[in-house]
């Protein structure tokens, strides 16, 4: 599971980092890559990644049942040949404590990617749907904090 977003000089980088840390479930997993934009102001790329199954599933479950259902119904537009599901969350909603899947690319978003393990003999689409279903089940458990 990977989360990425870009912050400009106008962003509250600490608030965005806190939101990304909440998504991944580990503030130590958030990395900062500072650079200068084409026009001069500082830009910061925030990224958080985990390759462990349980934290990745917990992170995916933080999208909540509604967000996961959106991914389930639109997976054919978001799932690539490398078995990676691509999606975006609205950053402003996330900073307000809501998790909302963006319906189109744009600014002010957090990009999410989850690599689905597919073994020989398995259908990639069925494995993806099983992963989303497991995340929905986790999202409905009381111990997983969604909002």
pLDDT digits (tens, 9 = 90+) for 63-110: 999 999 999 999 999 999 999 999 999 999 999 999 999 988 878 999
Do residues 141 and 57 touch, judged by C-beta distance below 8 A?
no
34-63: pLDDT as tens digits? 887 677 778 899 999 999 999 999 999 999
Query: pLDDT digit string (tens) for 107-125?
Result: 899 999 999 999 899 999 9
- Whether the predicted pLDDT of 6 surpasses 70: yes
Fold that domain 2-139 belongs to in CATH: 50s Ribosomal Protein L5; Chain: A, (3.30.1440)
Nearest 5°: phi and psi at 52?
A: -85, 135
7 and 116 Cβ atoms separated by less than 8 Å:
no
pTM score, whole prediction? 0.88
Domain ranges of the chain: 2-139
Nearest one of 38, 29, 77 to 56, comparing CA atoms = 29
Q: Tell me the C-alpha distance between 112 and 13, whole Å.
A: 18
Q: How many CB atoms lie within 10 A of CB 97?
A: 9
């Amino acid at each position: 599971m990977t989360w990425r977003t870009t912050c400009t000089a106008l962003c509250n980088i600490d608030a965005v980092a806190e939101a990304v840390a909440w998504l991944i479930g580990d503030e130590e997993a958030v990395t900062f890559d500072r650079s200068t934009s084409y026009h001069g102001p500082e830009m910061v790329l925030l990224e958080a990644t985990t390759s462990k199954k349980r934290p990745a599933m917990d992170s995916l479950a933080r999208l909540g049942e509604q967000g996961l259902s959106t991914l389930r119904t639109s997976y054919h537009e978001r799932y690539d040949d490398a078995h990676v599901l691509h999606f975006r969350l609205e950053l402003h909603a996330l900073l307000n404590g809501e998790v909302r899947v963006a319906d189109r690319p744009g600014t002010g978003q957090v990009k999410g990617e989850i690599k689905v393990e597919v073994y020989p003999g398995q259908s990639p689409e069925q494995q993806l749907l099983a992963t989303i279903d497991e995340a929905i089940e986790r999202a409905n458990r009381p111990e997983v904090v969604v909002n």
